[in-house]
A and B are shown apart, each in its own frame.
Chain A
Amino acid sequence: MIEALNSMGISNGMITSTAITIILCVLSIIAGRRLQMVPSGLQNVAEWAIGSLYHFFEDIMGQKACRSYFPLVGTLFIYILFANYSGLLPGAGHISGIAAPTSSINCTMAMAIIVFVAMQVIGIREHHGFSYYKHLLRPFAFLLPLMILEDLVKPVSLTLRLYGNVFGEETVTSSFFDLIPIGLPVIMQFLSVLMGLVQALVFSLLAAIYIKESLPEEEEHL
């Protein structure tokens, strides 16, 4: 069945990413099915995870912005974390059907474009019109090309950072495996556990900061 999907042009990364999405959806539905005032079991775990994530982003974006835009950045964090860790599954990248989605540039670029579009949409909505784009003229008007370039480079750097980290880490692990199959790859695997978390954090943190930058300034100190 996986071979049939592969021959249709659906890559292993896409299959894994769909599986992650389904798993996350099912977990969320189970955790939120019978909500209790005193949580227990899965609901407790989910509340703890989402609560600590929420407080983390609240510190960065501010109370009001976090309330509106936490769903986007929080989802990005959880999805990227699971996507990075799916590369640690046994046989990932060699067995067909399992591969870290973030080790493909298509996946990371799609997420970066989502963040870029969200920046524009949120900026226009919060400024009530196209006055959002006045920030491009702010320090000096003649810096306009530079400011436009700076905005356009943001999704590119988001894409390349995540893709480069995950892809590079996987390539280095596999070349370590070719050198000494026993022991040496474990070090890189341990590092990649750390790296998966940090990269997920960095991607969603940068998304949060970019979104916060596109908000009107007077709301910053709320």
Chain B
Amino acid sequence: MGLIAIGAALAIGLATIGPGIGQGIAAAKGLEGMARQPEAAGMLRTNMILSFAFMESLSIYGLLVAFLLFAKI
């Protein structure tokens, strides 16, 4: 039971590391592009949100696994 709790914590904890770093890089580059070319800001914003969604879905999978494990305790 204790192991399940640790597993659930690890599932969400580890699943947020990668997307966190990835979203940071994507946001930095996206803002850089918007600052350099403000006329392309609309298109960049749409694509940035879209790529955020893809990255965020990875940590959402981790969250779901954590919930699944949490229900077993």
Whether A168 and B57, one on each chain, are in contact in the complex, defined by CB atoms closer than 8 angstroms, is no
Contact of B67 among A157, A161, A165, A168 (CB under 8 A): A168
Note all chain B residues with C-beta closer than 8 A to A164: 57, 60-61, 63-64
Segment 164-183 of A: residues with Cβ below 8 Å from B: 164-165, 167-168, 171
Note all chain B residues with C-beta closer than 8 A to A160: 57, 60-61, 64
Q: How far is the CA of A220 from the CA of B67 in the complex (A)?
A: 42
Note all chain A residues with C-beta closer than 8 A to B43: 59
Closest CB in chain A relative to B70 CB, distance in Å: 9
Interface residues on A, range: 10 to 19
Note all chain B residues with C-beta closer than 8 A to A171: 67
Q: Is B46 an interface residue (CB 8 A)?
A: yes
Q: How far is the CA of A198 from the CA of B51 in the complex (A)?
A: 12
Scoring B residues 2 to 40 as 1 if CB is less than 8 Å from chain A, else 0, what string do you get?
000000000000000000000000000000000000000
Note all chain A residues with C-beta closer than 8 A to B63: 164, 168
Closest CB in chain B relative to A66 CB, distance in Å: 14
Note all chain A residues with C-beta closer than 8 A to B64: 160, 163-164, 168
Q: How far is the CA of A181 from the CA of B43 in the complex (A)?
A: 41
Scoring A residues 134 to 149 as 1 if CB is less than 8 Å from chain B, else 0, what string do you get?
0000000000000000
Scoring B residues 29 to 73 as 1 if CB is less than 8 Å from chain A, else 0, what string do you get?
000000000000011001001100100110011011001000000
Note all chain A residues with C-beta closer than 8 A to B50: 202, 205-206, 209
Q: A59-B43, A168-B67 are in contact. Are A201 and B61 (CB under 8 A)?
A: no
Whether B57 and A161, one on each chain, are in contact in the complex, defined by CB atoms closer than 8 angstroms, is yes
Q: How far is the CA of A220 from the CA of B28 in the complex (A)?
A: 30
Q: How far is the CA of A98 from the CA of B46 in the complex (A)?
A: 32
Closest CB in chain A relative to B26 CB, distance in Å: 14
Residues of B within 8 A of A (CB): 42-43, 46, 49-50, 53, 56-57, 60-61, 63-64, 67
